[in-house]
């Protein structure tokens, strides 16, 4: 009996030792791998998931008119600001001259693409784009994403951070406070990097009544792995250590390259949640774009078609990443007509 008890005791000790080892092993793995988060949440990057963003109450503020600039052809121009997550965000605001139409002016939140934050200036870039929209009677708010120009906060990029998406939605909410803006007639325009944030914003904010994307990127996140981005302005030592690059590295180190077969990347993928899209979307892309592969837009158009969404998709034989002339004029006309139709 003593021998039998000793054997049973030894087996019990061995079994408990194995259980303890497994507990320790899985504990170490859980710490090393943030995908082992509680429930559907992730320890790292959870704020980028569509589920987390749907839970946010994004607020705007009253708009402060900081400075009046020289007038445009038929509109006034201001440097204006608003608050987004405690950061004061600046931008260029244009307001049509003349009588306010019944219900208010239609408005557009205009989102810039990647520009090195240290060289960004509010009144530079996209001059012709803003002018065309403003001449056609829209209120246009071209916002300086956080960390750009005088805007407060860190420039964390769009692909791996929700910050710019939040800034854009906060701008829309702020425009809704202006008595001469139709609160139910606001759309979004985005270029390049901002194509990602415009679509993300449209998935989580139904108040965006129409969206237009020029040469946009990163929708499924599988597409980022396939195509990447080839932007010379994003290279250099300063950009390599920027908050946006650092954030991207952290997520890829934790979860690997974007791959929607993995839970985290599926949770942040925009096309995996395309059923949430309620408003029409228009897409423009030049075949000869050397910065953002046209495959991004073709993939998004295919997802929109497959899911029965209202969209328009236009390809251009030339014009490059900015869809320059002689294609610019047609692309802008289509943009204006689309906003007029759906706002």
How far is it, in rounded angstroms, from Cα 111 to Cα 248? 21
- pLDDT at 161 exceeding the cut of 60: yes
DSSP string, 78-118: EEEEEEETTEEEEEEEEEE-SPPPTT-EEEEEEE-----GG
DSSP state of 296: H
Q: How far apart are CA 56 and CA 188, in angstroms?
A: 19
Q: Which of 1-10, 108-117, 128-137, 153-162 has the lowest mean pLDDT?
A: 1-10
Model confidence over 130-147: pLDDT tens digits?
A: 999 999 999 999 999 999
Query: In whole angstroms, what is the distance from residue 285 CA to residue 314 CA?
Result: 7
Whole-model pTM: value is 0.87
Tens digit of pLDDT for each residue in 237-267?
455 678 888 999 999 999 999 999 999 999 9
């Amino acid at each position: 009996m003593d021998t039998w008890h000793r054997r049973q005791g030894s087996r019990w000790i061995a079994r408990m030792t194995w259980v303890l080892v497994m507990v320790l092993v899985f504990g170490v793995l859980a710490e090393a791998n943030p995908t082992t988060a509680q429930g559907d949440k992730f320890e790292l990057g959870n704020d980028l998931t569509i589920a987390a963003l749907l839970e946010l109450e994004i607020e705007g503020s009253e708009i402060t008119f900081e400075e009046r600039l020289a007038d445009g052809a038929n509109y006034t121009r201001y440097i204006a600001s608003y608050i987004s997550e405690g950061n004061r965000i600046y931008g260029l605001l244009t307001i049509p001259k003349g009588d306010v139409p019944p219900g208010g002016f239609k408005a557009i939140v205009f989102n810039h693409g990647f520009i090195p934050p240290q060289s960004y200036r509010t009144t530079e870039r996209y001059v012709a784009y803003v002018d065309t929209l403003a001449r056609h009677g829209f209120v246009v708010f071209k916002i300086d994403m956080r960390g750009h120009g005088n805007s407060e906060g860190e420039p964390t990029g769009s692909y791996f951070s929700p910050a710019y998406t939040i800034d854009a939605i906060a701008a829309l909410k702020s425009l809704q406070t202006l008595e001469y803006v139709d609160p139910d007639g606001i759309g979004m325009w985005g270029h390049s990097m901002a194509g990602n944030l415009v679509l993300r914003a449209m998935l989580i904010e139904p108040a965006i009544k129409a969206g237009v994307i020029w040469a946009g990127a990163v929708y499924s996140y599988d597409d980022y792995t396939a195509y990447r981005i080839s932007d010379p302005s994003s290279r250099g030592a300063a950009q390599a250590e920027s908050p946006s690059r650092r954030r991207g590295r952290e997520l890829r180190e934790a979860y690997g390259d974007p791959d929607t077969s993995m839970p985290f990347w599926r949770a942040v993928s925009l096309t995996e949640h395309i059923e949430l899209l309620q408003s029409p979307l228009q897409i423009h892309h030049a075949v000869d774009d050397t910065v953002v592969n046209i495959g991004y837009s073709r993939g998004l158009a295919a997802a929109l078609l497959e899911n029965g969404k209202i969209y328009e998709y236009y390809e251009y034989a030339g014009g490059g990443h900015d869809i320059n002339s002689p294609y610019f004029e047609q692309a802008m006309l289509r943009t204006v007509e689309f906003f007029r139709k759906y706002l």
